[in-house]
Homo-oligomer: A and B are copies of this chain.
Amino acid sequence: MITLASDFGSPYPAAMKGVVLQRTDARLVDVAHDFPRQNVRAAAFWLREVLPYYPSATHLVVVDPGVGTDRNAIVVRAGEHALVGPDNGVLLPPARRLAVDDPLETYAIDETALETVEPTAPAEPTLDAPTGDGRSDEATGATDRRGPASNTFHGRDVFAPAAAAVHDAPLDDLDSLPFLTASEHEADLALPTATVATDRASGEVLVVDGFGNAITNVPGSFLADRQTIVANGEEVPVGETFAAVSPGQRLATVGSHGYVELDVNRGRGDEAFGLATGDEVVLEADGSRPS
């Protein structure tokens, strides 16, 4: 099984799938292709929360604002899983969760050792008005400089063929793949943690989901036994479910990933609380807690 996740929207993921399906008949499962554009941290959060529900798989992850720079392409083995993507930190939070107590193993992808991705009848944009001054040679040069991989679409030209090969290789023997070298990752990413005391927690909004729920990094345990809290200065009821409050009303609850969310029952919490990804959140007890 190969899962695919990116910030590509459409139709770029379809090109990745074609490349993978040229090489393997693995089952493909889309995780998401609408991650916030070029937001490595939001992608890392969602992948850390979603991928642990999967059986052993190869996870192809392309959120890659540094495409075409000298950032490496890597494979991380994490327990029964392998992750393939850019060395910008996005793979680490999900990898640590997937590995449980196993050590992570990182491999660098040598792009030049990958079998070149060739479309059927590659595009050959030609010049309508070839000139006699050597321009056409220069044109050839321009094509050549793209080399085996485009500079802007490594999802298709590097990560997809690598993921197909990783999928078909034994997890215990990844360095048998000619394009992989045991290595270390260079970039890391730790999702920010909240500071939590007995009656005060200070954190931030990690992501806003499609319902408008503002998902913070404050552990859900902060809400234990409280009926209300004060969120950024405003009193808010604590509920175990959205329906604990009337439609349109605000609440704080423990989301499905275990963190405090600021939500509105059948409405958008981000708008009601005036919160966006990255905004600071301070939660305080308001005295309602049983002594």
Contacts and interface: CB of A to CB of B under 8 A. Distances in A.
Interface of A: 1, 3, 5, 8-12, 14-15, 17-19, 21-22, 28-35, 37-38, 46, 49-55, 65-69, 79, 97-100, 117, 119-129, 131, 133, 135, 138-143, 145-146, 150-153, 156-157, 193-198, 209-211, 217-225, 240-244, 253-259, 261, 266
Contact of A195 (B10, B67, B128): B128
Task: Please provide the 5 A-B residue pairs with the shortest distance between their CB atoms, ordered closest to farther.
Answer: A68-B241, A9-B210, A139-B221, A125-B219, A153-B256
Nearest to A16: B53
A196 B142 CA distance: 14
A15 B125 contact: no
A156 B53 contact: yes
Number of copies: 3
A52 B21 contact: no
Nearest to A100: B121
Contacts of A50: 11, 14-15, 18
B10 A240 contact: no
B53 A15 contact: yes
Contacts of A223: 142
Given A152-B253, A153-B255, 5 more contacts: A9-B209, A18-B51, A125-B217, A126-B219, A128-B194
A134 to B, nearest CB: 9
Nearest to A21: B55
Given A38-B266, A152-B241, A219-B139, A52 B119 contact: yes
B32 A266 contact: no
Contacts of A120: 51-53, 79, 97-98, 100
A15 B49 contact: yes
A1 B120 CA distance: 17
Contacts of A241: 67-69, 151-152
Given A209-B9, A241-B67, A241-B151, A254 B52 contact: no
Contacts of A54: 18, 21-22
B37 A11 contact: no
Contacts of A243: 65-69
A256 B150 contact: yes
B29 A21 contact: yes
A55 B22 contact: yes
